[in-house]
Structure formats: structure tokens, C-alpha cells
Structure 1
Amino acid sequence: MASVLGIVLMAGPASAAERKCAGNASYNVCLTIIPLGNRTFRVVLGIDYRIGLQAAQTIINAPGDPYFARIMGDDDVPDLTLFWVPLTGLGASAEAGLSADFERVVPGSWLDEDDLLGNRDEVYGRITFVDPRNNKSRTFETPNIYDEF
């Protein structure tokens, strides 16, 4: 499982891939939006939660998925969920800890959080981790991606 470290920023009106990351010594979380043409986009979220290899493997071995991801709109409506992004990969490593990948191909209208053509959209990723060892949850968010979808 590859870690999500690194930041790549590219500008343009939904014509170039855009990536925004946030984190610190204990985690790194990224959102990437890749235009595929015909107003269709591949949305990719990734997280490395540095909790150690043994803890990460214990969580992976537990029943159920420990992570849930969604794309949020950042406008006048607080906590506006635009859509959910399914888990596509889960892994454990000494370097990255508990890593997860999420991916979904969506029409641009799903990313158009204000429903007005010509207006700048503000979207971000939110990943929720539920620890099966104690049922406590923690939420991680990416910075906003600003574009016209």
C-alpha cells in the first residue's frame, strides 16, 4: 500500500488534476480530483494514520471497515455531504501505519456544490475512522479544492 505523502497543486478550471493534503506527524490525508473528460471526474481520497504496524494490523483483522469517506461541500450549509466514496484499499505498514484508499468516478454535477454554473465550488474530503478496539471515532479532513465543476 503506497502512502499518501506529498502535495501537488495544479490550477485550472477542472482541466488538470488537483490534489490537496493535510496532516502532521500522526497522519496524512489527501484528496485528488482528476478530470476524465465529458465533465466526469475520478475522486481519490487517501489516508495514512501512523498508529504503528501492530495496532494497524489488529484493526485490519477486526470485522468491518474501520474507515468511511465522503466528499463535502463547503458553502452556506454546514456539513453538506455531496456523496460517499467507497473504500478500495486497506493496508498496514511500519512507515505509514493504517492506510486506506477510496475512489469513485462521478459526474461533475456531483462536485458542483452550489448548483450554479460559473460559480466557484469548494469541496473537501472527510474520512472518519472508527476504532474497532474501543468504538471511538476520529475525523480527518483535507483542505478545500476550489474549482468550477
Structure 2
Amino acid sequence: MTDREREFSQLVKDNQGLIIKVSRLYTNSTEDEQDLFQEIVLQLWRSYDTFRGQSKISTWMYRVALNTAITLFRKKTKSPQTDELMDYHHRDYVEDDDEKQQQISLLYKVVKMLPKMERAIVMMYLDDLPYREIAETLGISEVNARVKMNRLKKTLKELMEKYA
């Protein structure tokens, strides 16, 4: 394994939570989630040499992960869907607290109901990314990111109450 490969492998290991979140929000089954995770890692590897450090590494990773997820999502929506929305099961990396797990599961369920751009905004907001970075990643203005997130908070609250 070359130094570059080791460096990339460590980068993926250090940021796998980001990739897992994107994979969860844009898939409906464990198999699809795993496939998307692998596809994101592949796309990150393919574009690794083009990363110039002009943005944070996490911003670049989000951009690649979201573009990969959205591209695959578009391809899948062209073919008939037979999956039920949100056949989700928690993994070992989620705390073992039942009430908290139920809240997290409900949050994932309602976030998956949002359009793809809004899903990305919510995910990055929940990761405590600054609006500037959210805007840069998605190619929108910082003001637009703030406005969208404020509207999404209300929408999410309503959906959480409806499905609780």
C-alpha cells in the first residue's frame, strides 16, 4: 500500500460517519446503504487527486458524497420502486437507549421524506457545520441556507409530531 493509499484510507476512517449519514439518508435498505457507502468511497478515491485544499476536507467529502448519492437516487427513481420507505434498523454505533433510538429513527424517517437538497441541509446542520460551509457545499448562498434551515425546522417539527 502506498503512502497516498494509506493517507486516503485514514481519511475515510476518520470521516466514515459523514459517509454513513449520507448513505442512510439517500437509501431505504441496509444493502442499498452499504452499496452507496462503497460507491461514495470509490468516487472519493477517484477525485482525491483533484482536492486542492481550497475548502475543508469535510466540505469536499460532503460535496462528493452528496453528488454521488443524488446521482444514484436519480437513476433509481427512473426505475420502479418496490421498497417501503424507511425500513431502517439501528446499528451498533447508535446508543442503546430505547427512547433516544426511537427519536433518532423518527428523525431519519421524516428527514427521508424531504426533497434531496433539504435532506442535505438538515444533515449538515445536525453535524454542526456553519451555514457558510453548508452553502459552499451545496452551491447556494449562505442567506439561502439559513432561510431554508429555518423553514425546515418548522417542517421537521410538524412531521415529527405527526409521526410520533
Asked if Structure 1 and Structure 2 have the same fold, meaning a TM-score greater than 0.5 normalized by the shorter chain, the answer is: no
Bigger Rg, structure 1 or 2: 2
Higher share in strand: 1
- Structure number with higher relative contact order (C-alpha < 8 Å, ≥ 6 residues apart): 1
TM-score (norm 2): 0.22
Higher share in helix: 2
